[in-house]
């Protein structure tokens, strides 16, 4: 609708958004979608939103799909923002919230990115999509590709949770299991995609998954009546959710709906795979690959992220930070959240609570602040992680 062009996030080179694009051909970095926000703001008003369907497509004017007929949707978005009063009371917190992305189709936040990526693939007339995945993105691509009548070619580490593998197989995807990590899966997609005629929808290697993910930021703003929280904890593998939210806040300011203040953004990684944490602590612009990555939280087992510099910029600009937590802490916090709030989070979501407790202890987060923890997936996809 009001999508105008693509721009490189590193070198600012512009690209035509009317044809399929992957990375910047000049520097190899991710592309962002740009909009005529002045025009978008004429129809996407706060009053108009009050009458729209409770899905992420309520923000239609700032999403890239031009025709309604190309939208491939399963009703994703507008997930609940739960006050976590019992959990908060344990720590003297009155304004603790959990944004529960497990309520999305396919049980994770990955549905947000795939609805926009697959919709754009449909607009472009693409028929075969491929993705390397630690699990949840694979399930989301399988679902949305099936909905659109496209082929999904999925590459996952062999030790991906069984729920993810079964999910993809039962939705008709072509599943290949790789002995290695998600980076090895990505290398296999890169090696075969030209000959096989696949379009690569890897994290941030196409511009439109980030557009679906940015609606996390729009929703938070709207659910808090256009006042952003003080602190956000977000679990980070590839980082599209964090990057997307930061983009959303910039767009919301340009629309005139929020001011210049931003939440402090904290990214949470696993102790066994913490490239962003190390780069943040060392003051680096880019993150070196984490060798020998290992963690039960499969969504956090991303040893090298192409959007590393975008995450690090957001963390520093927001005066936030990066923390690593152990697998044991994640598993313990899963039960603590579940018993207090009736939410069965993925280990990645539980990691956010573990990180919050650490920062409360150091005083980096105050007890009078408004705090949001993101649960990115349902714990039902990770049953192998938990003792019975």
Q: What percent of the chain has pLDDT over 70?
A: 100
Q: What are phi and psi of 380, to 5 degrees?
A: -65, -20
Strand partners, 6: 15, 33
The phi-psi region of residue 3 (left if phi > 0; otherwise alpha if psi is between -120 and 50; otherwise beta) is beta
Q: What's the CA gap between 329 and 114, in Å, rounded?
A: 30
**Half-sphere exposure (Cβ direction) of 266: Cα atoms closer than 13 Å:** 26
Rounded Cα gap, residues 197 and 273, in angstroms: 33
In our burial notation (b when 16+ CB lie closer than 10 A, e otherwise), range 27-66 reads: eebbbbbbbebeebbeebeeeeeeeeeebbbbbbbbbbbb
Burial class (CB in 10 A: 0-12, 13-18, 19+), 117: buried
pLDDT digits (tens, 9 = 90+) for 248-296: 999 999 999 999 999 999 999 999 999 999 999 999 999 999 999 999 9
**pLDDT tops 90 at residue 141:** yes
CATH of domain 81-104+211-385: 3.40.50.1100
Pairwise pLDDT comparison (210 vs 134), residue with the higher score: 210
Count of residues making up the chain: 388
Sign of the torsion formed by the C-alpha atoms of 208, 214, 219 and 225: negative
From residue 340, how far is each of 70, 87, 91, 333 by CA, in Å? 42, 6, 12, 10
What is the share, in percent, of the chain residues with pLDDT greater than 90? Answer: 96
Domain limits of the chain? 81-104+211-385
Sheet with 128-132, edge to edge strand ranges: 174-178, 151-157, 128-132, 199-200
Mean pLDDT of the chain: 96
pLDDT at residue 388 is higher than 90: no
Q: Lowest mean pLDDT: which of 32-36, 159-163, 324-328?
A: 159-163
How many CA within 13 A on the CB side of residue 36? 8
How far is 51 from 62, CA to CA, in rounded Å?
Answer: 17
Mode of pairing for the β-strands spanning 81-83 and 128-132: unpaired
Span 329-347, average pLDDT: 97
State the pLDDT confidence band at 387, using cuts at 50, 70 and 90: confident
Cα(149)–Cα(128) distance, integer angstroms? 10
Q: Where are the alpha helices (DSSP H) in the chain?
A: 37-43, 46-49, 85-89, 110-124, 136-148, 162-170, 182-196, 209-223, 240-255, 275-282, 308-317, 327-341, 347-362
pTM for this predicted structure: 0.95
Give the pLDDT band of residue 134 (cuts 50, 70, 90). confident
Beta bridge partners, 2, equal none
**Contact predicate 116/218, CB 8 Å:** no
The angle formed by the CA atoms of residues 96, 335 and 110, to the nearest 5 degrees, is 70
d(CA 108, CA 328): 22
Encoded tokens for 282: 């060392």
Q: What token pair was written down for 274?
A: 């913490």
Q: How much is the average pLDDT of 162-188?
A: 94
β-pair type (199-200, 371-375) = unpaired
Q: Dump pLDDT digits (tens) for 42-94.
A: 999 999 999 999 999 999 999 999 999 999 999 999 999 999 999 999 999 99
- Backbone dihedral angles phi then psi of residue 123, each to the nearest 5 degrees: -60, -40
Query: What token pair was written down for 15?
Result: 């690209």
**pLDDT given for residue 382 in this prediction:** 94
For the chain, the first-to-last Cα distance in angstroms comes to 50
Tokens of 30: 């991710």
């Amino acid at each position: 609708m009001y999508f105008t062009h693509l721009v490189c996030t590193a070198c600012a080179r512009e690209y035509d958004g009317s044809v399929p694009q992957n990375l910047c051909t000049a520097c190899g970095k991710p592309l962002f979608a740009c909009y005529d926000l002045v025009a978008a703001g004429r129809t996407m008003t706060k009053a108009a939103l009050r009458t729209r369907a409770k899905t992420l497509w309520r923000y239609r004017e700032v999403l890239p799909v031009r025709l309604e007929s190309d939208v491939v949707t399963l009703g994703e978005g507008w997930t609940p923002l739960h006050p976590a009063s019992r959990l908060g009371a344990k720590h003297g917190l009155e304004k603790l919230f959990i944004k529960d992305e497990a309520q999305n189709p396919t049980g994770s936040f990955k549905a947000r990115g795939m609805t926009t990526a697959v919709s754009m693939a449909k607009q472009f007339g693409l028929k075969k999509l491929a993705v390397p995945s630690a699990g949840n993105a694979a399930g989301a691509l399988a679902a949305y590709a099936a909905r659109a009548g496209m082929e999904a070619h999925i590459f996952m580490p062999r030790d991906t949770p069984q729920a993810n593998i079964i999910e993809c197989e039962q939705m008709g995807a072509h599943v290949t299991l790789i002995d290695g990590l998600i980076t090895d899966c990505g290398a296999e997609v890169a090696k075969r995609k030209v000959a096989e005629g696949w379009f690569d929808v890897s994290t941030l290697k196409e511009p439109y998954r980030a557009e679906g993910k940015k609606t996390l930021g729009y929703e938070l703003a709207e659910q808090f009546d256009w006042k952003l929280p003080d602190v956000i904890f977000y679990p980070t593998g590839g980082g599209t959710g964090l990057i997307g939210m930061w983009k959303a806040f910039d767009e919301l300011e340009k629309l005139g709906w929020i001011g210049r203040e931003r939440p402090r953004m904290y990214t949470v990684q696993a102790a066994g795979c913490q490239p962003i944490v190390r780069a943040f602590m060392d003051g680096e612009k880019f993150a070196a690959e984490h060798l020998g990555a290992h963690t039960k939280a499969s969504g956090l087992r991303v040893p090298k992220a192409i959007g590393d510099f975008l995450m690090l910029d957001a963390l520093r600009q927001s005066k936030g930070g990066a923390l690593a937590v152990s697998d044991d802490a994640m598993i313990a916090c899963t039960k603590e959240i579940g018993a207090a709030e009736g939410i069965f989070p993925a280990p990645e979501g539980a990691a956010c609570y573990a990180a919050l407790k650490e920062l409360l202890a150091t005083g980096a987060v105050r007890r009078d602040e408004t705090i949001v923890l993101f649960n990115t997936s349902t714990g039902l996809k990770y049953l192998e992680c938990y003792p019975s």
